[in-house]
Amino acid sequence: MSEDAFAATSTPPASASHAVRDGGEIYSWQPRGDVIVSRIVGALNIELAICFEEYYLPIIARTPKVRVFVDLEAVSVYTREARERMTAFALAHIAQIESIHVLVRSKLVALGLGAFKHAVGDALVRSYFDRESFLRSLSVATASGR
Amino acid sequence: MVADAPILEDDLQLLHAALDASRLLILVVNRDGLVVDVNGAVEQAFGQPRQAFLRPIWELAAIPAECALLEGAFRPLRPGTLSRGLVFHVKAGSAPARVVDWRARFVEERDVPVVILSGLDLSERRAAEQQLRETEALQRQILDRMPAVVWTTDRDLRFTFSAGGGLASLGLGTGEVAAVGTSLYSYFHTDDPAHPAIAPHLRALAGEATSFEVTWLDRQFQARAEPFRDRAENVVGTIGLAFDVTEQARTAHALAESEGRLRRLVDARDQLLVKEQSARVEAELANARLLLLVEGSKRLARTRNPNDSLEALASLVVPALAEWSYVVHRGWDGGPALVTGAHGDPNKESLLRGLQSCVPDLAAPDGAAKVFRTGEVALYEDIKPDQLLPSQARWPLVGTQDPRHLRTIRELGMRSLLCVPIMGRSGVDAVMLLVSASDPHRYDAEDVVMARHLANRAAVSLENGRLLFEALDAVRARDDFLAVAAHELRTPLAAMLLQVQMIGRSIYEGRIEPAAARRSVSAAETQARRLSVLIDGMLDVVQLASQRIWLRLEDVDLRELIARLLNRLAPQLSRAGCEVTVAASEQVDGRWDRARIEQVLTHLLTNAMKFGAGRPIEVSARATEGNVVISVRDHGFGISKEDQARIFDRFERAVSTRHFGGLGLGLYTTVQILRAHQGDLRVESEPGQGACFIVELPRRAAHAPERADAAPSPPS
């Protein structure tokens, strides 16, 4: 994979949905019909979780199976409410989610992701601590489909 | 002008010529008060021609009071009516009035006496003086309004001047800062040249300007002392300037206090926010950990076998506690073997699979090997790549020298490694290895506690799996035993039944032959005894498993016991075709339960006959220090290593029940009896090479031994 390709997938495009809420911000975009990417920065709170849902709901409603890529590398802290909300959201739409790929760095977030993974299912959730590997998976998903 | 006096005319011309050159204003006034002549200076001063002044002098006065005064003095003019000096304002034509200081001189020597007024124009000076006064007043106003005090001192630091609005704040008026002549030393009640108010003035006397702060009558001043120089630049004293900064300081102090209070409030609020956020984070950490433990317990509880348990464990900790993990089990049949691993990153799973054959060497000093030895958690931080390279000089951290495995581990990444023991009943069953590929200091004390909790749950799961396995195995052995027992019991029973039926048929047919009847009864009795022996054996096992064996200890001569036993078993040995040789020390005796030891030897000899394939049997008995060692060796088909591990268990047997009878209880019973004597039994055998059962007995068994183990482990 070339550096350009990495850059293209790691940077939110100008058309990305962007919201700032209470110490955190979220970018969401759709590089492909069945691939959704979110990048969250700062504190992952309930307001951001709601923004996340608002972006995902209409896509999930019209797409049989989606692959979700969430970049939490720049998230240093999250709230229990946000984790529970996102877990409930994933469980409510689990039939339409093919896979969830999450990039993490903070051990706190990793622990939360662990709890999320066990609630949603091991097979569905993939965790990355390596941005290059995360982007490789995203690139494959974007370029070649399944 | 006086026309009738030619001499005077000449004189006046001379006078004119002389006085025109003068800068003084000169008026010549006759005795009637009429100005008869003026000099050029007058014309120049007023910008008026000479004729403008030739009139009664009082008409030249600009102020009515002065006009009246002049008229009174000059009409009539007499000596004594006019003072020598007078000042009045002169006005001529449209020119502005000017103040002139006149000096009057009577010239009476002449026939026509005149008064010559010579005047000095004071207008410019007066104006300058007025301007100076106004400037001084302005400066005074400025000084009086400034929150400052200005002072001067002489070289002895005695006050020579003081002014400034700052005095008012001290409750003093101008010049009252200190009486002129008062010394700065006495004013500040000090003789210390280093006093903060004195030292700057001393420096000023030395030519150096100095700023300083001083508290003066409870007021705070920002002051400066500079040298006061005369025109020749000699320092003749000091000039001081002080600004009253009391209010400013109070305001600044109050402001600082307010800012301080505000800052403290903000800090307190921030601290509260931080504490609240920190508490929320901590609560969520605890919550997530609890969820992980609960989920872990549930998953591990659902597993049915040890491999599943370890797979579940490896998966559980990713990514919550590790980027990737693997579990090394000590192996079900010997050395350690890597069982399973997990990676959250799908792009690296294939790499991890390459580690499935990565078996750490138990001799390695670190990693899983260390945990297997110590049973303690091992944490490795800030791991460098050179710790994961094959090296002759030292072991790589992970306990393998295999370059392929080490390369795989380096590719997967390992910056922190936490090795956690999974304890079994007899030590460390397995080691869980948690790895962070990115964080050199990933694990803290809470992570270790968490990992230990999970490992403990895995240990319980492993133990449950093992118990389940053992229970299933025991059920299988019991079922096998029941089948064997049924068969074993049925054989003599069937034979006995046959004999009884034969006797019954003879009675029914009324043709009983005594000899035949005796043979049938004897045969039935033999079968009954065989049944009895089988049932006794079963009862013995039940007793050994559930009760303490009480030994009746007595002195036993082992040589005599063996000889008597061989004599008793001679018919069976003969039928089996086994020749027995005995090698015994002269004195082989001890204090044991005679009947039980005889039971042990009987069983070992019977076994040797059964499996000895009609070949010789060698019995040896020798005494060592404190012990007696008895061996019974046959030359039959031997026992495999695998079977050797289980033949001492209940209901176990190394051979098919089809070819060899028996309940499979003999060796179990033998071991229990020997352990009750603090002795033991082991076997040495190779397939096809026969078997040698070796008994070790202390010569003096304790009288009240421990209860026989209900679930004995194989002898080592």
Which of A46, A107, A137, A146 would best serve as a mutation to test chain B binding (most B beta carbons within 10 A)?
Answer: A107
Q: Say whether pLDDT at A97 is over 60.
A: yes
- Asked if B438's CB is within 8 angstroms of A130's CB, the reply is yes
Rg (CA), chain A: 14
Give the model's confidence band at B614: pLDDT under 50 very low, under 70 low, under 90 confident, else very high.
confident
List chain A residues with CB under 8 Å of B442: 107
- Asked if B289's CB is within 8 angstroms of A127's CB, the reply is no
A→B contacts (Cβ < 8 Å), by residue, are 77-80, 83, 104-105, 107-108, 110-115, 117-119, 122, 125-130, 133, 136-137
Return the percent helix, strand and coil in chain A, to nearest 5: 45, 35, 20
Q: Say whether pLDDT at B660 is over 60.
A: no
> Which residue's entry shows tokens 């004995």?
B712
Nearest-CA neighbor of B39 among B119, B125, B131?
Answer: B119
List chain B residues with CB under 8 Å of A130: 345, 348, 413, 437-438
Nearest chain A alpha carbon to B349: A126
- Asked if B347's CB is within 8 angstroms of A114's CB, the reply is no
Is some CB atom of chain A closer than 8 A to the CB atom of B350?
A: no
Percent of chain B with pLDDT over 90: 25
Indicate the helix (H) or strand (E) that contains B666: helix B666-676
Q: Say whether pLDDT at B217 is over 50.
A: yes
Which of A22, A100, A118 would best serve as a mutation to test chain B binding (most B beta carbons within 10 A)?
Answer: A118
| Per-residue pLDDT at B545 | 65
| Per-residue pLDDT at A3 | 41
State which of B126-140, B195-209, B237-251, B360-374 shows the largest mean pLDDT: B195-209
Is some CB atom of chain A closer than 8 A to the CB atom of B105?
A: no
State which of B74-83, B461-470, B487-496 shows the largest mean pLDDT: B461-470
Check whether the bond before B346 is cis (ω within 30° of 0): no
Nearest chain A alpha carbon to B278: A77
Q: Under DSSP, is residue B657 helix (H, G, I), strand (E, B) or coil? A: coil
Nearest chain B alpha carbon to A80: B284
Distance from CA of A11 to the nearest CA of B (A): 21
- Asked if A104's CB is within 8 angstroms of B319's CB, the reply is yes
Lowest model confidence (mean pLDDT) among B27-36, B204-213, B318-327, B559-568? B27-36
Of residues B291 and B654, more confidently modeled: B291
Is some CB atom of chain A closer than 8 A to the CB atom of B293?
A: no
Q: Say whether pLDDT at B679 is over 80.
A: yes
Is some CB atom of chain A closer than 8 A to the CB atom of B288?
A: yes
Distance from CA of B298 to the nearest CA of A (A): 11
The Cα B580–Cα B612 span in angstroms is 11
Q: Say whether pLDDT at B674 is over 80.
A: yes
Is some CB atom of chain A closer than 8 A to the CB atom of B446?
A: no
| Per-residue pLDDT at B443 | 94
Nearest chain B alpha carbon to A108: B285
Q: Running DSSP on this structure, what letter comes out for residue A96? A: G
The Cα B355–Cα B157 span in angstroms is 94
Lowest model confidence (mean pLDDT) among B50-59, B368-377, B464-473? B464-473
| Per-residue pLDDT at B469 | 78
Nearest-CA neighbor of B24 among B97, B104, B109?
Answer: B104
Q: Say whether pLDDT at B258 is over 70.
A: yes
* Beta-carbon contacts below 8 Å between A and B: 83
Nearest chain B alpha carbon to A82: B284
- Asked if B287's CB is within 8 angstroms of A118's CB, the reply is no
| Per-residue pLDDT at B512 | 78
Q: Say whether pLDDT at B281 is over 80.
A: yes
Q: Running DSSP on this structure, what letter comes out for residue A12? A: P
Q: Under DSSP, is residue B345 helix (H, G, I), strand (E, B) or coil? A: coil
Strand order in the sheet with A17-21: A17-21, A24-32, A35-44, A66-78, A97-103, A125-128
ipTM exceeds 0.95, yes or no: no
Q: Say whether pLDDT at B178 is over 60.
A: no
Q: Are B455 and B422 in contact (CB under 8 A)?
A: yes
Give the model's confidence band at B715: pLDDT under 50 very low, under 70 low, under 90 confident, else very high.
very low
The Cα B469–Cα B207 span in angstroms is 105
State mean pLDDT over B446-470.
87
Q: How far is CA B611 from the centre of its chain?
A: 70
| Per-residue pLDDT at B37 | 85
The tokens describing A18, both together, are 């962007």
- Asked if A111's CB is within 8 angstroms of B321's CB, the reply is yes
| Per-residue pLDDT at B650 | 67
Give the model's confidence band at B22: pLDDT under 50 very low, under 70 low, under 90 confident, else very high.
confident
- Asked if B438's CB is within 8 angstroms of A80's CB, the reply is no
pLDDT in tens, B339-369: 789 999 999 999 998 888 787 888 888 999 9
Residues contacting A60, CB < 8 A, separation 6+: A66, A93, A96, A97
Q: Say whether pLDDT at B24 is over 80.
A: yes
State mean pLDDT over B450-473.
86
Nearest chain A alpha carbon to B291: A115
| Per-residue pLDDT at B655 | 58
Point out the residue among A104, A105, A137 whose CB comes nearest to the CB of B347: A137
Distance from CA of B379 to the nearest CA of A (A): 17
Is some CB atom of chain A closer than 8 A to the CB atom of B377?
A: no
| Per-residue pLDDT at B11 | 72
Q: Are B339 and B329 in contact (CB under 8 A)?
A: yes
| Per-residue pLDDT at B694 | 94
pLDDT in tens, A58-71: 999 999 999 999 99
What residues 156-195 of chain B have any CB closer than 8 A to a CB of chain A?
A: none
- Asked if A77's CB is within 8 angstroms of B442's CB, the reply is no
Percent of chain B with pLDDT over 70: 88
| Per-residue pLDDT at B659 | 54
State mean pLDDT over A10-32.
89
pLDDT in tens, B282-296: 888 888 888 888 888
pLDDT in tens, B87-118: 888 888 888 888 888 888 877 766 777 888 88
- The phi, psi pair for B542, rounded to 5°, reads -60, -45
The Cα B102–Cα B105 span in angstroms is 10
Point out the residue among A83, A111, A137 whose CB comes nearest to the CB of B346: A137
Nearest chain A alpha carbon to B312: A122
Predicted TM-score (pTM) of the model is 0.54
State which of B12-16, B110-114, B595-599, B660-664 shows the largest mean pLDDT: B595-599
| Per-residue pLDDT at A5 | 42
- Asked if B295's CB is within 8 angstroms of A104's CB, the reply is no
The Cα A79–Cα A45 span in angstroms is 5
Q: Are B48 and B33 in contact (CB under 8 A)?
A: no
Nearest chain A alpha carbon to B438: A129
State mean pLDDT over B163-171.
69
Residues contacting B67, CB < 8 A, separation 6+: B58, B59, B61
